[in-house]
Amino acid sequence: MKIGALKESFEGEARVAVTPSSAGHLMKLGHEVFVESGAGARAGFSDDSYRGAGVTVVPNASELIGAVDVVAKVRQPSDDEIRQMQPGQTLISFFYPGQNSELLALAKEQGVTAIAMDMVPRISRAQKMDALSSMANIAGYRAVIEAANNFGRFFTGQVTAAGKVPPAKVLVVGAGVAGLAAIGTAVSLGAQVYAFDVRPEVAEQIESMGAEFVFLDFDEASAAQDGAATGGYAAPSSPEFREKQLAKFRELAPQMDVVITTALIPGRDAPKLWTRDMVEAMKPGSVIVDLAAERGGNCELTIPDEKHVTENGVTIVGYTDFPSRMGAQASELYGNNIRHFMTDLTPKKDGVIQHNMEDDVIRGATVTRDHDVTWPPPPPKIA
């Protein structure tokens, strides 16, 4: 089959869905690989580097879409991109079907088979295709780098001839994939790191990384109930639990130099956990990086896509494109996620795609097929 990567049409997006290296792997599966001219430029992959890897470079999006069986992208497609596709063609990209019902209807109408990388089931076998995790890992790392860049002080403590420097105090709220990456990065920079999550089972992971788990004075059984939901995700907290959590954050706010928030609940707006009064209680020069900005933000004062400084001198970073800010690395990892998915779609490595809807992973990620909406999928059979 012919697989081709489009240049991302979303403004400022630096990632690309196929790299010269992942193209080589796709070819080993028997596929021919194409790329739109300039698709990899912002991630540091020139057209010549693709040609050197045996990829055919085509001049524009419509020629690319016209030439291939499978269109690969990072961001969800635009309406125009879907409209250019033919029945039976496959699209593989982030899609977010729950938030994009009109796009889903359009893909159905067009007869496109749409594979949503954000819907790959989070089961062990599919970890190598888990693009949500590979991107969240980058976002967590980059959030700390962004915080360090905006914090006018060391992260690590030092004793020098010119004076003693205390380590920065960093609080990470939400210890999922991004939060754990942020914890690891902040610890490695020498900061004193604290972390909170509603899921009590992450306490051990937080502590094993050298950070301190922020415990709430709350009945343990209720706490577990508040934090746990299916598949390792969080559920909304009860009002009592939330009050305890906010009281704890109010106590911590004046002591923290950096706060990185990553708290999300599937299918909902981000919970507001860092309130205006907490920002006002922070020291001038402190930094908040809100990784939940795209879903409305965990901090009440976050402005999505922007960085601003409050009247009391707290920098709040609300960027929503952290993986794109590390475009080369993010493309390599996302390109690998895609080629692993293509490996499952090409079981005989003979360039022939077998779209096996009995396979949990393929079924889970397929959101439209044969003029049908196939989302939401049934729960995976194997954990």
Q: Is 47 exposed, middle or buried (0-12, 13-18, 19+ CB in 10 A)?
A: middle
Supply the minimum distance, in Å, between the C-beta of residue 298 and ligand NAD.
Answer: 8
Amino acid identity, residue 43? Answer: A
Give the nearer residue to ligand NAD in terms of CB position, either 34 or 194. 194
Supply the minimum distance, in Å, between the C-beta of residue 350 and ligand NAD.
Answer: 28
Give the nearer residue to ligand NAD in terms of CB position, either 35 or 365. 365
Task: Identify whether the C-beta of residue 290 lies closer than 8 Å to the C-beta of residue 107.
Answer: no
Give the nearer residue to ligand NAD in terms of CB position, either 21 or 320. 320
Give the nearer residue to ligand NAD in terms of CB position, either 169 or 295. 295
Q: Determine how many CB atoms are found less than 10 A away from the CB of residue 256.
A: 22
CA distance 83 to 48: 30
Supply the minimum distance, in Å, between the C-beta of residue 301 and ligand NAD.
Answer: 18
Task: Identify whether the C-beta of residue 136 lies closer than 8 Å to the C-beta of residue 178.
Answer: yes
Give the nearer residue to ligand NAD in terms of CB position, either 192 or 262. 262
Task: Identify whether the C-beta of residue 263 lies closer than 8 Å to the C-beta of residue 294.
Answer: no
- Assess whether 122 carries a catalytic annotation: yes
**DSSP E strand stretches across 174-314:** 192-196, 212-213, 258-261, 287-290, 307-309
Residue 10 contacts by C-beta under 8 Å, 6 or more apart in sequence? Answer: 75
Supply the minimum distance, in Å, between the C-beta of residue 251 and ligand NAD.
Answer: 15
CA distance 3 to 31: 7
- Assess whether 96 carries a catalytic annotation: no
Catalytic residue among 122, 125, 242, 325: 122
Q: From 47, 43, 121, 104, select the one nearest 333 (Cα to Cα).
A: 43
- Assess whether 205 carries a catalytic annotation: no
Give the nearer residue to ligand NAD in terms of CB position, either 70 or 195. 195
- Assess whether 127 carries a catalytic annotation: yes
- Assess whether 233 carries a catalytic annotation: yes
Question: Applying CB under 6 A, which residues contact ligand NAD?
Answer: 122-124, 127, 130, 132-133, 136, 173-179, 196-199, 232-234, 237, 262-266, 271, 273
Amino acid identity, residue 375? Answer: W
Supply the minimum distance, in Å, between the C-beta of residue 230 and ligand NAD.
Answer: 10
Peptide bond preceding 376: is omega within 30 degrees of 0, i.e. cis?
Answer: yes
Catalytic residue among 69, 153, 188, 233: 233
Residue 326 contacts by C-beta under 8 Å, 6 or more apart in sequence? Answer: 138, 141, 142
Residues 247/319/168/173 CA torsion (nearest 10 deg): 30
Q: Nearest residue by C-beta to ligand NAD?
A: 176
CA distance 135 to 331: 9
The dihedrals phi and psi of 255, each to the nearest 5 degrees, come to: -90, -20
Supply the minimum distance, in Å, between the C-beta of residue 228 and ligand NAD.
Answer: 9
Task: Identify whether the C-beta of residue 224 lies closer than 8 Å to the C-beta of residue 200.
Answer: yes
Give the nearer residue to ligand NAD in terms of CB position, either 130 or 146. 130
Supply the minimum distance, in Å, between the C-beta of residue 155 and ligand NAD.
Answer: 23
Residues assigned a catalytic role: 122, 127, 130, 133, 233
